[in-house]
Amino acid sequence: MGKKTKIGIAAVAVGAAAWAGSKALVTTHPRPEKVALEYDRPVVLAHRGGSALAPENTMAAFKKAHALGVDGFEIDVRLTSDEELIVFHDEFLDRTTDGAGKVSDMTLEKIRTFDLGYHFEDLDGQNSYRGSNEKIVTLLELLEEFPEMYVNIDMKDSPETYEGSLMPSKLWRLIESAGAQDRVGVTSFFDEQIDRFNLYAQNRVAIGAGENEIRKAYAAFNSQFGHLYQPRADMFQIPIRSSVFNLVSPRFISYLGELNVPVHYWTINDPEAMRALVAAGAKGIITDRPDLAVEALKEAE
């Protein structure tokens, strides 16, 4: 037997011993149950209220999605200059309103002078909402308007900004004062923001996974040491693909499910794709087309 062969066999033996040792020593702990995530079927979350059917993040969109029978909303929040939490995605107002400027530079009163339906197009290419007086909605207004709905909240302001530094504490205090701990989920692309929010929430609110946490979970799943992964999130909200990686895998969904971490996929607007994801084990569909999603998931039951 050659020297290289012996070295190779020894390396495999060491790897196997390390794997066996870690399996013996490490106990995997599933995430504790969260009331907000206790559902017995896949859920439909209207993305920004269902942005293909009405101007995104407006009360018109949320009411339309609610009437269609969605289970909840997937929203983004930002902080205004007077420290109001508003339901809004973009850093600047230009794309979705008739106003221009940065959200964090304006007061709520100023932002509410703009028309959120200004650039909207219906499915037939028309604009039936311009001038209909659709205004910015605050997070508190949304929670109070729909007290029975699940709301997934994505903190958009970067932790490196002033408004981002205030976001976690402001959001926790609002959720606590509204008594909404058991019907919201909180997430962010920034893992740091989620960690800072949870310093205040102390695991009393369902939290999502940031980009680093998702990468860590996927790497663990594809390694021999997946049993070492201890989730720091109660749910994953992920796209179908991330870079070159296909994140739709029944095995990956099942791996997270065994850790009590449901997977929601965004932003899915094709009914066939919705049914395929549910068949693969997805626990939620985030969509701009709640009209299609509600029917598709009924057919998949």
The residues spanned by each domain of the chain are 30-300
Query: In the prediction, which pLDDT does 58 show?
Result: 97
Contacts of 113 (CB under 8 A, 6+ apart): 99
- Return the pLDDT at 299: 82
Per CATH, the homologous superfamily of domain 30-300 is Phosphatidylinositol (PI) phosphodiesterase (3.20.20.190)
Pairing of strands 245-246, 236-238: unpaired
Rounded (5°) CA angle 144-135-55: 95
**Considering the chain, what is the average pLDDT of its residues?**
91
Which residue, 142, 146, 96, is CA-closest to 119?
96
Q: What does the pLDDT read at residue 9?
A: 44
* Other CB atoms within 10 A of residue 93 CB: 22
131 DSSP β-pair partners: none
**pLDDT at 24 exceeding the cut of 80:** no
Shortest CA distance to 167 belongs to which of 212, 116, 104? 104
Of the pLDDT bands very low, low, confident and very high (cuts 50, 70, 90), residue 21 is very low
Question: Which sequence positions are flagged as catalytic?
Answer: 47, 89
Instruction: Give how far Cα 261 sits from Cα of 34, 38, 80, 247, 276, Å.
Output: 10, 11, 33, 15, 19
Give the pLDDT mean for 264-279. Answer: 97
- Span 21-40, average pLDDT: 77
Q: Residue 187: which residues within 8 A CB-CB, separation 6 or more?
A: 152, 153, 154, 155, 194, 207, 208, 209, 210, 233, 235, 237
Q: Are the beta carbons of 161 and 104 closer than 8 angstroms?
A: yes
242 pLDDT tier (thresholds 50, 70, 90): confident
> What residue type is assigned to position 106 of the chain?
M
